[in-house]
């Protein structure tokens, strides 16, 4: 490697080893795929329709889609999907097919929703209403009911968070369904943004219930978050009927233009499929369990030194009051107003957590005013 490459590589490696505040797993190694870097792989168009361009990994892409469909209790005959460029594209796709199903619907989503959704709604020009969140980041059902009641003449699109970015809060599908029944809403669509939790929930006991057996219309998951990938990617799954509504044939590449982008990444499906095969369901469960245990440990250790840390259920996200700038920079901690979080993804070690705890202890002694009185109440 020439100097600049070495320099960039070292900088990135250092940053990758140090961060604690983002939901990006790092227990992967894809060096074995190096030979693929000499080929222009392109999964252009629909994963189920071959194109005249055949340098693709669509067969593997379909295996990945079927795997996610099955772990989310869907029937591959009724569910269609593709590997996206990330959770944002999957959410855009869900909202897009929802709009085609119900062009005059209103989209309901909570104020804790990922920042990209506002942009997606703007691109799609969809009327929408932001619903208040509860203290833990979950949607406020009373506020949702009040808003829905005013618009009973319009179809409703529910954009649900299965794990919010900041606190990993889950909007409860059964409560949403109860509201739909109570208000007799006939035309509705349910999209689940499971960017992080979609690759965890199926592998843990008592995970959130949001899959296709519960009647959702679409689910978006990020591939580079809990699974881990050197290139951002994701998977989106939708009921086939929704995909069929937007399918147009294009003669240039002789495939169906059912995806958001044209040329598509064919490398990431290889990574995802390899990871799933190597770990197996058992390995994926162990990984999730290890992360939950590390999160429990992190919460406990913070509480021991007087920090009012908390988690939603068995979340991997430990929320605590925003520490000083030096700690935020050192551990790359994402913050939102008065709170910060550590996300215990695979690849983060107990030693790193212990180092953070030591630094926090110092921080409390030196910046006591930043912690107490604490605006955050433990619930």
Ligand X SMILES: *Cc1c(COP(=O)(O)O)cnc(C)c1O
| Binding site residues, ligand X, CB under 6 A | 86-88, 91, 114, 116, 161, 163-165, 193, 195-196, 222, 232, 234
Is 131 buried (19+), middle (13-18) or exposed (0-12) by CB count in 10 A? buried
CB of 84 to ligand X, least distance (A): 8
Q: State the minimum distance, in angstroms, from the CB of residue 270 to ligand X.
A: 18
Q: Which is nearer to ligand X, 81 or 86 (CB)?
A: 86
Q: 171 vs 301, which CB is nearer to ligand X?
A: 171
Place of tokens 């109440």: 377
| Minimum CB distance to ligand X, residue 169 (Å) | 10
Cβ-in-10-Å burial (0-12, 13-18, 19+) of 325 comes to: exposed
Q: How far apart are CA 274 and CA 104, in angstroms?
A: 42
User: Which CB sits closer to ligand X, 137 or 321?
Assistant: 137
What separation in angstroms does the CA of 294 have from each of 54, 191, 285, 306, 315? 44, 30, 14, 19, 10
Q: Which is nearer to ligand X, 196 or 203 (CB)?
A: 196
Beta-bridge partners for 133:
139
Residue 23 has φ and ψ, to the nearest 5°, of -85, 50
Are 43 and 61 contacting, i.e. CB atoms less than 8 angstroms apart? yes
DSSP letter (8 states) at residue 162: B
3-class DSSP state of 110: strand
Instruction: Give the CB-nearest residue to ligand X.
Output: 87
Q: Least distance in Å: CB of 178 to ligand X?
A: 23
Least Å from the CB of residue 271 to ligand X: 14
Looking at the Cβ atoms of 137 and 266, the one nearer to ligand X is 137
Q: Is the dihedral of CA 213, 217, 223, 225 positive or negative?
A: negative
How far is the C-alpha of 195 from the C-alpha of 223, rounded, in Å? 8
Q: Which is nearer to ligand X, 232 or 346 (CB)?
A: 232
* Shortest Cβ 245–ligand X spacing (Å): 24
């Amino acid at each position: 490697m020439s100097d600049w490459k070495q320099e960039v590589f070292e900088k990135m490696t250092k940053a990758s080893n140090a961060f604690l505040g983002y939901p990006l797993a790092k227990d992967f190694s894809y060096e074995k795929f190096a030979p693929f870097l000499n080929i222009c792989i392109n999964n252009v168009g629909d994963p189920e329709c071959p194109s005249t361009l055949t340098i693709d990994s669509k067969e593997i892409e379909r295996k990945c889609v079927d795997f996610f469909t099955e772990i989310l209790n869907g029937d591959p005959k009724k569910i269609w999907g593709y590997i996206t460029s990330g959770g944002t594209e999957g959410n855009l796709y869900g909202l897009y097919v929802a709009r085609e199903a119900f062009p005059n619907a209103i989209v309901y989503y909570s104020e804790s929703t990922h920042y990209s959704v506002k942009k997606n709604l703007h691109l799609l020009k969809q009327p929408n209403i932001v619903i208040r969140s509860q203290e833990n980041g979950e949607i406020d059902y009373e506020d949702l009911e009040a808003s829905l009641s005013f618009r009973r003449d319009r179809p409703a699109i529910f954009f649900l968070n299965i794990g919010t970015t900041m606190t990993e809060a889950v909007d409860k599908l059964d409560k949403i369904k109860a509201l739909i029944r109570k208000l007799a809403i006939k035309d509705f669509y349910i999209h689940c943004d499971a960017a992080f939790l979609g690759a965890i929930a199926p592998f843990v006991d008592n995970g959130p219930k949001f899959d296709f057996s519960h009647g959702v219309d679409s689910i978006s998951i990020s591939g580079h978050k809990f699974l881990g990938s050197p290139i951002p990617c994701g998977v989106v799954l939708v009921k086939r009927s929704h995909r069929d509504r937007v399918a147009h044939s294009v003669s240039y590449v002789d495939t169906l233009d059912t995806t958001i982008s044209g040329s598509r990444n064919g490398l990431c499906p290889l990574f995802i499929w390899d990871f799933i095969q190597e770990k197996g369901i058992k390995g994926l469960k162990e990984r999730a369990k290890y992360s939950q245990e590390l999160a429990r440990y992190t919460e406990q250790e913070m509480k021991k030194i007087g920090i009012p840390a908390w988690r939603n259920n068995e979340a991997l996200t430990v929320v605590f009051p925003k520490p000083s700038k030096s700690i935020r920079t050192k551990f790359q901690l994402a913050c939102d107003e008065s709170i910060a979080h550590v996300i215990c993804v695979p690849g983060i070690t107990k030693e790193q957590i212990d180092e953070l705890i030591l630094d926090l202890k110092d921080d409390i002694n030196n910046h006591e005013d930043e912690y107490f009185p604490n605006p955050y109440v433990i619930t």
